[in-house]
């Protein structure tokens, strides 16, 4: 039997207590405006959680466990799922299975704590038996999650006196004497390096840790007078969206890169480089339909470029449209003078045609 209702009538902490007490097994679906999540329960214990829009590969990059080059290489696999990424980095001995599980357990816990802040939306719990890769299966006592989550909520109320929103953009004090009292560990120094009046607390947390931990550190620095909130008007958006889009892409903030480049391309429809960067960002985010949209927009604006065709072809292939993928690869051949590259593309086209032919034969048979 399903348990469902609005979060306002039964908050998620109370709901977790109900599921824990009754030793429920199944999946809790949560839909809060633009945010969605799934929490897996087994006999009342939290086993795993998935937030829509999160990407394991990008989280590994932000935690400096893998590099962007390694991630891009893994993306070349036919199915870059969380399981494939995890097994690949363990197989390559980039990380041990034990360390990966520690990393993922912390990620699961932080995702749960962030859920406890959701006060709008709808939940539905469905009792069912589910399967999960053992790498992604935990048994975290729901009671301990509730206790820590409640403690964080209480502490957030204290932090809110100085940090009412994680959208605030802290800036360092220009008093050199204030800096002498700092005693930070290496990760905290890295966080400090991102405090520049332009990055919000949310931006910094996206790269170096959960919002609660970053906000708590910045709150302490504000109390000491080392950091204060940037009072300038909302960034007074200097018009260089392209520059910020490039920088966000290089820093691994692919969603922010996309946001900046979308604005830039509205006024600069013929900038080939901007289309290439936004396609690269969408590729990192696995948004293949968006690659096709922007590649086709570039073509409509008479931009004829090898890289645009390449991204368009790859995206169509990932979406299962072999015919269009072949068509784009054929265009790409005419846009490069590299003979070795032409041979590789011809091999790809041959492979795609043969695979489609065999698939059609199997379906027909």
List, for residues 156-213, the tens digit of each pLDDT value. 777 877 888 888 888 888 776 666 667 777 878 888 888 888 888 888 887 776 788 8
Q: What is the structure's pLDDT at 317?
A: 92
- Domain spans, the chain: 3-143, 158-229, 273-364
Span 300-323, average pLDDT: 92
Residue of higher predicted confidence among 179 and 89: 89
Residue 117, phi then psi, degrees to nearest 5: -85, -15
Q: What is the pLDDT of residue 29?
A: 95
Is CATH 1.25.40.10 the classification given to domain 273-364? yes
Long-range contacts of 102-110 (CB under 8 A, 24+ apart): 103/60, 103/63, 103/65, 104/135, 104/136, 104/138, 105/138, 105/140, 107/59, 108/46, 108/48, 108/49, 108/138, 108/140, 109/140, 109/145, 109/148, 110/210, 110/212
**Distance (Å, rounded) from C-alpha 302 to C-alpha 272?**
10
Confidence band, pLDDT 50/70/90 cuts, at residue 355: confident
295, 331 Cβ separation under 8 angstroms = no
pLDDT value of position 315: 93
Q: Is the dihedral of CA 194, 196, 198, 202 positive or negative?
A: positive
pLDDT of residue 321: 92
68 touches 55 (CB < 8 A): no
Residue 309 pLDDT class (50, 70, 90 cuts) = very high
């Amino acid at each position: 039997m399903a348990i469902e209702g609005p979060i306002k009538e039964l908050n998620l902490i109370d709901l977790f207590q109900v599921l824990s007490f009754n030793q429920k097994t199944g999946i809790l679906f949560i839909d809060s405006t633009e945010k969605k999540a799934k929490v897996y329960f087994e006999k009342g214990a939290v086993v795993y959680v998935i937030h829509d829009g999160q990407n394991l590969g990008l989280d590994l990059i932000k935690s400096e466990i893998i590099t962007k080059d390694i991630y891009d290489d893994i993306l070349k696999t036919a199915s870059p799922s969380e399981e494939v990424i995890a097994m690949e980095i363990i197989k390559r001995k980039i990380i041990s299975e034990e360390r990966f599980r520690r990393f993922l357990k912390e990620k699961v816990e932080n995702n749960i704590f962030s859920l406890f802040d959701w006060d709008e939306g709808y939940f539905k719990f469905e009792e069912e038996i589910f399967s999960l890769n053992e790498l992604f299966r935990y048994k975290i006592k729901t009671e301990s999650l509730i206790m820590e989550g409640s403690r964080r909520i209480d502490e957030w109320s204290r932090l809110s006196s100085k940090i009412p929103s994680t959208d605030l953009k802290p800036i360092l004090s220009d008093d050199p004497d204030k800096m002498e009292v700092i005693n930070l560990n290496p990760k905290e120094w890295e966080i400090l390096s991102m405090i520049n009046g332009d990055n919000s607390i949310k931006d910094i947390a996206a790269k170096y840790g959960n919002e609660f931990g970053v906000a708590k550190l910045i709150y302490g620095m504000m109390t000491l007078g080392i950091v204060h909130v940037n009072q300038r008007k909302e960034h007074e958006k200097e018009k260089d969206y392209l520059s910020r889009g490039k920088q966000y892409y290089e820093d691994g903030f692919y969603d922010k890169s996309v946001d900046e480049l979308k604005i830039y391309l509205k006024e600069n429809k013929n900038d080939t480089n901007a289309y290439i960067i936004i396609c690269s960002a969408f590729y990192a985010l696995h948004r293949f339909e968006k690659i096709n949209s922007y590649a086709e927009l570039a073509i409509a604006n008479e931009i004829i470029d090898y890289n645009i065709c390449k991204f368009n072809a790859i995206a169509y292939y990932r979406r299962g449209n072999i015919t269009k993928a072949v068509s784009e690869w054929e265009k790409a051949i005419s846009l490069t003078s590299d003979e070795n590259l032409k041979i590789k593309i011809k091999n790809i086209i041959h492979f795609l045609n043969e695979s489609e032919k065999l698939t059609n034969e199997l379906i027909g048979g």
